[in-house]
């Protein structure tokens, strides 16, 4: 700024007639003037007397002429000026005033193409500062006119310039007419931007796409400028596309489901399944960003402008080049590429896969999940079970490479042999166990214990536990073994038959009580059953759980392994026995009395005979009632 002021002062000094106050330097000019106007009095002019002598009308005329050469300006207004000089720091603006204004170059950083001769708007802050300098501001002029300009640009769809100040969340901040506008990251370019910082400090062209007057928000887009041109390019490219056509493209973006390819103004998608004939977990395994490659057009949509591309189609299908000698029964090696509950897919060559079903992984009939046998990445050896070259399908088997354990089942596990097995799972009717891989068997719930009443196998054992078994039967055709556990011991009911005889009394503990009766634990680990009527105690109360009481055996069934007990019968039978003993004694005494009466019958009177007859009838009735009661109790039992 100081340099420009010195230049202006020097120009003014050079244009002044009295340069350096030396009269000898002005003489040639005076002589020239005198020749032009001999009547001009130069002495009075130098002394200042000439002005005073001028007439009032001439002075006014001179002032008017001078005023016409200057612009009429007011402070605090926006006017248009012209750039007359500029350097790296400052710009000199001529607004037609008596002096030029100087504006900082920073206020024009949004317009790096500014040059001498350009017209710009400036705000007049002061006509003259302390140094006599005109004070102008381009930034304030832009701010005052900014909203009008922004709205006008939106209405007219005008292309404007803006300076990218900095990066912010989701995009960039752009200086547009002095307003901070937002440039979303998706609106910077038609292709995804990986480095936002490279745009900071740049001046670019934009279109205003949205204004929110309430919040003073402005959204601009650079992408909108090139979309129209690209749209036309897309139409031209699509119009020339043909299915099967091979084009060169550049990898523009990689997603989990595919790769977007730039075909030179239009994008196409290679789906992940069209990248390779083999399995692809992620497209990054095949391609990289900005990589150039050839692709084939599989399909396209004129309306939606979608183009489906393929990469694997440029190479022959692996099934077509599969060894022609390969056949069912051959053994192949491969790598597990996909796991499912029902099986595993094994890649025996790039793009050639076979399925090993879980049932073909083991000879075991107890099917499990395929994950129990294999995992992704495992190298396996398998036999070809089926091969369909037309359908491009193949099934494989692993168990076929091992001998079938059922081939010599009778020799290895004969009936009556004892073995250790592992519990695999339960059903309501028994326990499935595995003696070895491929050899499964069933222990029926009735073959678990001689003595314990097992309602569910889970009461007796647990999954994964080892259990001793005896082979009871072999069904080789259906691959089934019938096994037993209780058969490891002799049948204790042969002994129980001699111990728990009917009417024998044993001490038992009530272990379980329910509506229909109770289960009683007896000696030697055997259990019996008693109905509620037989659980009544002598005092009339009902027996409860965990009580230890004497029980009488009223029924023993060896075949059904059933013992029926009664606590009530213990004291009832004792009481009945006592009553019968008393009745027998009374009957004996009665017979003796009758005999005595008969002996003395001849001596009795008529009245005595009648009395004896009544006594006899009474005794007979009592004896009959006693017999009926005994018969009724026997029927109830």
| Range among 147-156, 219-228, 334-343, 474-483 with highest mean pLDDT value | 334-343
Cα–Cα distances in angstroms (integers) from residue 404 to residues 424, 438, 475, in the given order: 20, 8, 15
Answer yes or no: do 63 and 112 share one domain.
no
Is 49 in a helix, a strand, or coil? helix
112 and 214 share one domain: yes
pLDDT band at 271 (very low <50, low <70, confident <90, very high): very high
Pair 524, 610 in one domain: no
Q: Do 149 and 172 share a structural domain?
A: yes
Look up residue 35 and give its two tokens.
């020749």
Highest mean pLDDT (candidates 32-36, 166-170, 318-322, 598-602):
166-170
> Residues 293, 325: one domain?
no
Residues 557 and 502 in one domain: yes
Within a domain: residue 236?
no
Mean pLDDT of the chain: 77
In a domain, 448, yes or no: yes
The residue that leads in pLDDT, 422 or 214, is 422
- Pair (501, 597) in one structural domain: no
Whether residue 300 sits in one domain with residue 196: no
Q: Could you tell me if 189 and 126 lie in one domain?
A: yes
Residues 540-550, mean pLDDT to the nearest whole number? 87
Q: Which domain holds residue 247?
A: 241-314
Comparing 465 with 130, the larger pLDDT belongs to 465
Q: Which two tokens stand for residue 244?
A: 């099967």
Asked whether residue 503 is assigned to any structural domain, the reply reads yes
Q: Is residue 576 part of a domain?
A: no
105 and 196 share one domain: yes
In this structure, what is the dihedral angle of CA atoms 329, 333, 337, 338, given to the nearest 10 degrees?
30
Residue 4, domain member (yes or no): no
pLDDT in tens, 554-575: 888 877 778 899 888 888 877 8
CA distance 446 to 430: 8
Q: What is the pLDDT of residues 297-324, one digit of tens each?
A: 888 876 656 889 998 888 888 888 788 8
H and E: helices and strands count for the chain = 11, 30
Domain CATH number, residue 148: 2.40.50.140
Q: Does 614 have pLDDT greater than 50?
A: yes
pTM for the full predicted model: 0.40
- Three-state SS sequence of 371-427: HHCCCCCCEEEEEEEEEECCCCEEEEECHHHCCCCCCCHHHHCCCCCEEEEEEEEEE
247-284 burial, b for 16+ CB within 10 Å, e for fewer? Answer: bebebbbbeeebbbbbbebbbbbbebebbbbbbbeebe
Same domain, 131 and 220: yes
Please state which of the ranges 29-38, 136-145, 542-551, 590-599 shows the lowest mean pLDDT: 29-38
Q: What is the pLDDT of residue 260?
A: 92
Residue 8 lies in a domain: no
Q: Are 206 and 111 contained in the same domain?
A: yes
Whether 572 maps to a domain, the answer reads: no
If one counts the domains in the chain, the total is: 7
Q: Does residue 523 surpass a pLDDT of 60?
A: yes
Among 261, 294, 314, the domain boundary falls at 314
Question: Could you give the CA distance from residue 100 to residue 122 in angstroms, rounded to a whole number?
Answer: 12
Give the pLDDT mean for 281-309: 84
- Give domain status of residue 215, yes or no: yes
| Each residue's pLDDT tens digit, 158-213 | 888 888 888 888 888 988 877 888 988 888 887 777 788 888 888 888 888 888 87
């Amino acid at each position: 700024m100081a340099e420009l002021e010195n230049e202006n002062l020097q120009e003014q000094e050079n244009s002044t007639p009295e340069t350096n106050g030396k009269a000898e330097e002005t003489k040639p000019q005076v002589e020239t003037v005198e020749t032009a106007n001999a009547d001009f009095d130069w002495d009075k002019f130098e002394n200042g007397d000439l002005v005073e002598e001028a007439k009032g009308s001439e002075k006014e005329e001179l002032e008017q002429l001078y005023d016409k050469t200057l612009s009429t300006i007011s402070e605090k207004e926006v006017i248009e000026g012209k750039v007359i000089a500029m350097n790296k720091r400052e710009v000199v603006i001529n607004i037609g005033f008596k002096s030029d204004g100087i504006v900082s170059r920073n206020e024009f950083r949004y317009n790096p193409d500014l040059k001498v001769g350009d017209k710009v708007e400036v705000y007049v802050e002061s006509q003259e500062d302390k140094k006599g300098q005109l004070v102008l501001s381009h930034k304030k002029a832009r701010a005052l006119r900014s909203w009008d300009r922004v709205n006008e640009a939106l209405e007219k769809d005008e292309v404007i310039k803006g300076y990218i100040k900095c990066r912010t969340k989701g995009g960039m901040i752009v200086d547009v007419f002095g307003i901070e506008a937002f440039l979303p990251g998706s609106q910077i370019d038609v292709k995804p931007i990986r480095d936002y910082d490279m745009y900071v400090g740049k001046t670019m062209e934009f279109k205003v796409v949205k204004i929110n007057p309430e919040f003073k928000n402005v959204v601009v887009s650079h992408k909108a400028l090139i979309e129209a041109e690209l749209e036309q390019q897309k139409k031209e490219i699509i119009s020339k596309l043909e299915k099967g056509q091979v084009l060169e493209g550049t990898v523009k973006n990689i997603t989990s489901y595919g790769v977007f390819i730039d075909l030179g103004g239009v994008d196409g998608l290679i789906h992940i399944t069209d990248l390779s004939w083999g399995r692809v977990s992620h497209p990054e395994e095949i391609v990289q960003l900005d990589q150039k490659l050839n692709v084939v057009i599989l399909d396209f949509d004129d309306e939606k402008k979608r183009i489906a591309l393929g990469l694997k189609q440029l190479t022959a299908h692996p099934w077509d080049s599969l060894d022609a000698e390969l056949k069912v029964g051959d053994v192949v090696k491969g790598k597990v590429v996909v796991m499912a509950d029902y099986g595993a897919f094994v890649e025996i060559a790039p793009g050639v896969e076979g399925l090993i079903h879980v049932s073909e992984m083991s000879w075991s009939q107890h099917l499990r999940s395929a994950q129990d046998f294999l995992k992704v990445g495992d190298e396996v050896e398998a036999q070809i079970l089926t091969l369909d070259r037309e359908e491009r399908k193949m099934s494989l088997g692993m168990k076929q490479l091992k001998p079938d354990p059922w081939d010599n089942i009778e020799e290895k596990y004969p009936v009556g042999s004892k073995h250790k097995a592992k519990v695999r799972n339960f059903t309501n009717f028994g326990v499935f166990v595995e003696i070895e891989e491929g050899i499964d068997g069933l222990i029926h719930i009735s073959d678990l214990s001689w003595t314990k009443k097992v309602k569910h196998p889970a009461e007796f054992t647990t999954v994964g536990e080892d259990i001793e078994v005896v082979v009871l039967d072999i069904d080789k055709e259906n691959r089934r073994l019938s096994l037993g556990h209780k058969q490891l011991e002799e049948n204790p009911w042969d002994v129980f038959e001699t111990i728990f005889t009917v009417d024998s009394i044993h001490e038992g503990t009530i272990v379980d009580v329910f509506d229909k009766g109770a289960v009683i634990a007896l000696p030697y680990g055997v259990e019996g059953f008693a109905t509620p009527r037989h659980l009544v105690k002598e005092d009339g109360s009902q027996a409860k759980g965990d009580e230890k009481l004497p029980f009488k055996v009223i029924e023993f069934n060896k075949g059904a392994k059933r013992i029926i007990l009664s606590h009530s019968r213990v004291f009832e039978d004792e009481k009945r026995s006592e009553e019968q003993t008393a009745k027998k004694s009374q009957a004996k005494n009665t017979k003796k009395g009758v005999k005595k009466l008969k002996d003395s019958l001849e001596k009795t009177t008529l009245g005595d005979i009648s009395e004896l007859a009544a006594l006899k009838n009474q005794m007979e009735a009592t004896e009959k009632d006693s017999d009926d009661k005994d018969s009724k109790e026997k029927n109830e039992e």
